[in-house]
Amino acid sequence: MEISYSRLKTYRDCPWLFKLLYVDGLYPSLSPAGSLGLSLHRTLERYHARHPEPGDAPDGEAELLDDYVSAWLHRGYQTPQMQVEWFEKGKEILRGYWQMERSRSSKIILVEKEFRFEVRGVWVKGIMDRVDLNADGSYEVVEYKTQKAASSPEEVAGNLQLSLYGLALRRVFGLEPKWQSVLFIREKAKVRAPYNAAGEQALLDLIVEAERKMDQGLYDPDTSHCVRCDFRNRCAYSTAPQSAGDPKTL
């Protein structure tokens, strides 16, 4: 069994959703927002692979937009017109990102970096968006969010994904994270919180416990996230408001 952040979060939110996605293989179709998010991630990966140092791209905005064109994913849009509209949205987001990028003082040392480590027989894997080395010598795990509104430092401190990636930075790369941050690129805001090494044991326990339950086939539904679930109109356990006649087949 291998566990990634997505699998762990899905199981923690709703074990039944985990079953639908990862056991039954029922992947929901890609939404325009999801597709744009992937295009933006691919763009930033390409751009920062060439430009890790602050201020090392005098014509960076034009380069960023060129990378956007080559990284663009065409899937997820119902009409060509819809695709054009979302493409333009992405361009505006990247122009805003460039404004932030101009004042960056950190060096980017890892970009879309894969990791894999083992804990008590469970393999944990993932891909970090980015790790920065700050001017004061501290390391910072950074994740991009392209759809969400900026959250508080307290929420970033409790972010499961960042905590997992901070743990991986220590275990796999031997680097001590001081900060964990979310870069909300639509909102042009970076929110950071101190990395909490004291929380690692609880995180490892959570991973091992979740894997044990998955292994036992324990998939009890948790309905607290139904309103945002992609299967809310089809799932038999959904408590989200339903349209009349929606077939509940899952």
Using CB under 6 A, list all residues that contact ligand SF4.
14, 16-17, 20, 221, 223, 225-226, 229, 231-232, 235, 237-238
Sorted by sequence, the CB contacts under 8 Å of residue 175 that are 6+ apart come out as 131, 139, 169
- What are the CB-based long-range contacts (under 8 Å, 24+) for 56-62? 60/98, 60/101, 60/102, 61/94, 61/95, 61/98
Closest distance between ligand SF4 and the C-beta of residue 248, in Å? 9
Closest distance between ligand SF4 and the C-beta of residue 147, in Å? 19
Sorted by sequence, the CB contacts under 8 Å of residue 233 that are 6+ apart come out as 240, 242, 243, 246
Closest distance between ligand SF4 and the C-beta of residue 12, in Å? 12
Cβ-based nearer residue to ligand SF4, 38 or 250: 250
Cβ-based nearer residue to ligand SF4, 156 or 226: 226
Closest distance between ligand SF4 and the C-beta of residue 11, in Å? 11
- Tell me the C-alpha distance between 222 and 209, whole Å: 17
